[in-house]
Every structure is written in structure tokens, then in C-alpha cells.
């Protein structure tokens, strides 16, 4: 099977990360989590006392960061400048910060070339918000993953509870909805399905079934080239 470039976009907690990781592991592909990059930029900006709306400052920071992604024991580790930030970037406040810094055109431009170069060799699954529309417009397969807000909120709430973060389902739903709106309504590279994306609604699907469906699409695409 020829190695493909696979773009997966969609709103928060639609299952993108888990499914993209599963697909990459099954196929022996590289997985690139572009949301983790924006999250790392937001975290480092916070630590360095930069406002999340300081476009020049945050973009200069984003240009300097050295990202490294590594699979270890089936999970993805994200390191920046040699520091493992895998867990620190998953906090909900950092997710909101990522959404804020990602509105800034200079910050997006700072990460775009790196993301494109990671996708260039093929044999890659990349997930985010603008992968099929902007980062890899020539991807072999584009998937737009979605699920009802209520189901996505339940998933996010369960994930946060597992990590010991105390929140209510209503707060999680509100935060998720606010972030999706911000990501969809920004002027640069807003979240939307590419015209040639395959839409997959995971509201009623398990992660396993969703991953299988994506793998079926990959096989079809690799065989037919269609």
C-alpha cells in the first residue's frame, strides 16, 4: 500500500487525537498533533509572562521553540526544548490559550512551515483544525470528524475527571462550545471541513469503530488512488 498523507480536522473532543493516533500506529505512520503545538506555544507564553494576544511576542516565541514528538508505550510524548510537556499542555485553560494564540496570523505562520515539512514525506496522519484546508491541501485523504456537543462534552468531562480535574459537565460544555465558536469564527484558517473531506460523525460510534472506519477509507484511497 502506498504511504498516504492523511488530514483529520474537527472540533474539540470529536475523537481526532485518539483516532489519528490509532490509525498512525496501525499503519506505522507518523502522527503529528498540531493542536499540541498551539498548546505548547500558549503554555510557554504564559510562563514567560506574554499575553495570549501579544501577536509579535507570541509569534517570536513560536518561531524559537524546538518541538519533538515521540511514541512511547503506545502514547505520544510532546517535548519542547527538551522538556516533556505532554501532561502540562492538556489542561483546559491551556486549551483555551491555544485557541486564543491560534487566532493570531503571525503565530499560525510561524507553525505552518514546520507542519508542512512534517507532512511532506507522506506516511503521516496530521490532526488539527485547518489541516485539510490550509496545511496539507493536497492530502490524499481528508476526514472531518464531528460529534454532537453533548457527547463531546461528556467525553471531555470523563477525560478531565480521570486526570483528577474537578469540573461540572455544564462548565465543560460551555468551555467546549466557546472554543469551537472561537475556532470557527476566526478570520485566518477557521475550522471548517475542506470541500473534498469525508465527514465522519462519531456521536454514536466507539473509538474502535471510528478508527476502523478511517482505516477502511485509507485502504480504499490507497488502492484506487481515488
Residues that bind ligand DC (CB under 6 A): 12, 34-35, 38-39, 95, 98-99, 102, 128-131, 179, 183
Q: In terms of CB distance, is 5 or 99 closer to ligand DC?
A: 99
Q: In terms of CB distance, is 27 or 136 closer to ligand DC?
A: 136
Q: In terms of CB distance, is 129 or 157 closer to ligand DC?
A: 129
From the list 224, 137, 225, 149, the residue with the least C-alpha distance to 181 is 149
Alpha-carbon distance 169 to 65, whole Å?
Answer: 34
Least separation, in Å, of the C-beta of 84 and ligand DC? 17
Q: In terms of CB distance, is 129 or 142 closer to ligand DC?
A: 129
Cell 465558536 belongs to which residue?
181
Least separation, in Å, of the C-beta of 50 and ligand DC? 17
Alpha-carbon distance 179 to 39, whole Å?
Answer: 13
- Torsions phi, psi for 102 (to 5 deg): -75, -10
Task: Kindly provide the b/e burial profile for residues 38-75, where b requires at least 16 CB atoms within 10 angstroms of the residue's own CB.
Answer: bbbbbbbbeeeebebebeebbbebbeeeebebeeeeee
Least separation, in Å, of the C-beta of 194 and ligand DC? 13
Q: In terms of CB distance, is 4 or 94 closer to ligand DC?
A: 94
Least separation, in Å, of the C-beta of 13 and ligand DC? 8
Q: In terms of CB distance, is 1 or 211 closer to ligand DC?
A: 211
Neighbours of 216 (CB within 10 A): 10
- Torsions phi, psi for 212 (to 5 deg): -60, -40
Between vectors from CA 93 to CA 35 and to CA 24, what angle results, nearest 5°?
25
Q: Strands across the sheet with 83-84, in order? A: 67-72, 75-80, 83-84
Least separation, in Å, of the C-beta of 128 and ligand DC? 2
Least separation, in Å, of the C-beta of 90 and ligand DC? 8
Pairing relationship of beta strands 124-128 and 75-80 according to DSSP bridges: unpaired
Amino acid at each position: 500500500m502506498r504511504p498516504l498523507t492523511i488530514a483529520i480536522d474537527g472540533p474539540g473532543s470529536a475523537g481526532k487525537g485518539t483516532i489519528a493516533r490509532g490509525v498512525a500506529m496501525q499503519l506505522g505512520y507518523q502522527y503529528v498533533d498540531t493542536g499540541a503545538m498551539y498548546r505548547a506555544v500558549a503554555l510557554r507564553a504564559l510562563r514567560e509572562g506574554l499575553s495570549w494576544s501579544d501577536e509579535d511576542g507570541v509569534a517570536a516565541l513560536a518561531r524559537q521553540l524546538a518541538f519533538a514528538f515521540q511514541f512511547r508505550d503506545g502514547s505520544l510524548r510532546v517535548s519542547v526544548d527538551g522538556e516533556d510537556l505532554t501532561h502540562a499542555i492538556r489542561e483546559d485553560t491551556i486549551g483555551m490559550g491555544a485557541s486564543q494564540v491560534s487566532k493570531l496570523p503571525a503565530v499560525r505562520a510561524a507553525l505552518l512551515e514546520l507542519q508542512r515539512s512534517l507532512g511532506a514525506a507522506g506516511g503521516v496522519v496530521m490532526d488539527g483544525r485547518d489541516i485539510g484546508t490550509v496545511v496539507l491541501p493536497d492530502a490524499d485523504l481528508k476526514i472531518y470528524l464531528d460529534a454532537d456537543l453533548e457527547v463531546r462534552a461528556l467525553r471531555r468531562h470523563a477525560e478531565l475527571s480521570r486526570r483528577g480535574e474537578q469540573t461540572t459537565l455544564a462548565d465543560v460544555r460551555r468551555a467546549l462550545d466557546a472554543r469551537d465558536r472561537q475556532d470557527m469564527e476566526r478570520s485566518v484558517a477557521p475550522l471548517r471541513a475542506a470541500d473534498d473531506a469525508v465527514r465522519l460523525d462519531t456521536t454514536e460510534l466507539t473509538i474502535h469503530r471510528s478508527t476502523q472506519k478511517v482505516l477502511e477509507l485509507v485502504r480504499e484511497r490507497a488502492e484506487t488512488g481515488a
